[in-house]
Homo-oligomer: A and B are copies of this chain.
Amino acid sequence: MSGARFQTGCELTYQVTSPCAYIFNVSVVGNAFQKIAGEQFITDPPLQVEESRSPTEDKRHHRLLASPGQLKVKYAATVDLSHHVEEPGAVSQTPPGEVPAEVVPYLYPSRYCESDKLARLAHHEFGKLQPGFSRVTAICNWIRDNVEYLGGTTNPLTSAYDTATERAGVCRDFAHLGIAFCRALAIPARFVSGYALGLVPPDFHAYFEAYLNGRWYIFDATRLSPQTSFIRIGTGHDAADTSFATIFGAMTMTSMKVTMELVSGDAPQFSTGAVSTS
């Protein structure tokens, strides 16, 4: 266990042109590894905001109806992080027959993680490796070695199948490909959106978690930020159900600002340990 306190959040501005229903997914989830010391979700103009927590997936929604005009949304939280870090060698793969019922959905292909189309490639590249934490690490290494981190080459429709061949993308694409490879090898894997320290430029981050040895472990093929600095916003099948905002109506986002900084405690370091979140 390491521990540190962070201040994080975002400011989003929209020009709303028709009445819009918003579902925001920007707030931090409180759990044993990330404790919310304080937070606020403010809208300008002040609007009625309904908060809900997804019954199964670990995420919170803030919903509101906005009228035409400017809408500003500000979320800020103070969070105490203390990830659980283990010796990677001890983290074995859970046999698919023993995957708990609530984890089974993460074995299946999803919109942007077509594990069904990547099965042969996954088995060719990783099928003979020792199952467990080190195999998922090998998947991340392969992605980092074979896919170029390059903004502007992909779009919201880009999927793991595309990235496997087009070989360029951003954090979202790296996560999708890692998830797809895992599922193709019968390793449950899920998408995580979050805040992360030190991204340049500051932005929301995306990475993934694989289910091994009875827990969810963090993996991030981008290596852009230490995993022990990750603050989870939401988990889901892939970016399709983990967007920071789902909007019904006509609007334009006019600005987005994401922040995260260390308030106290030790600065997170890159580590080779197995960092788990459950």
Contact = CB atoms under 8 A, between A and B. Distances in A.
A156 B114 CA distance: 12
A171 to B, nearest CB: 18
A46 interface: no
A52 interface: yes
Contacts of A23: 104
A65 interface: yes
Interface size bracket, A side: 35 or more
Contact of A101 (B53, B96, B156, B248): B53
A61 B63 CA distance: 33
B240 A110 contact: yes
Nearest to A153: B120
A186 interface: yes
A275 interface: no
Interface stretch (A2-10, A161-169, A211-219): A161-169
A246 B108 CA distance: 9
A52 B101 contact: yes
A116 B21 contact: no
A157 interface: yes
Given A63-B97, A124-B167, A161-B165, A156 B108 contact: no
24 contacts: A21-B95, A21-B96, A23-B104, A53-B101, A54-B105, A55-B101, A56-B56, A57-B105, A96-B248, A105-B241, A107-B246, A108-B111, A108-B240, A108-B246, A109-B111, A110-B237, A110-B240, A111-B111, A111-B114, A111-B116, A116-B240, A117-B165, A124-B167, A164-B164
Given A116-B156, A165-B165, 11 more contacts: A21-B95, A56-B56, A57-B105, A61-B101, A65-B97, A110-B237, A117-B166, A120-B166, A121-B166, A124-B167, A164-B164
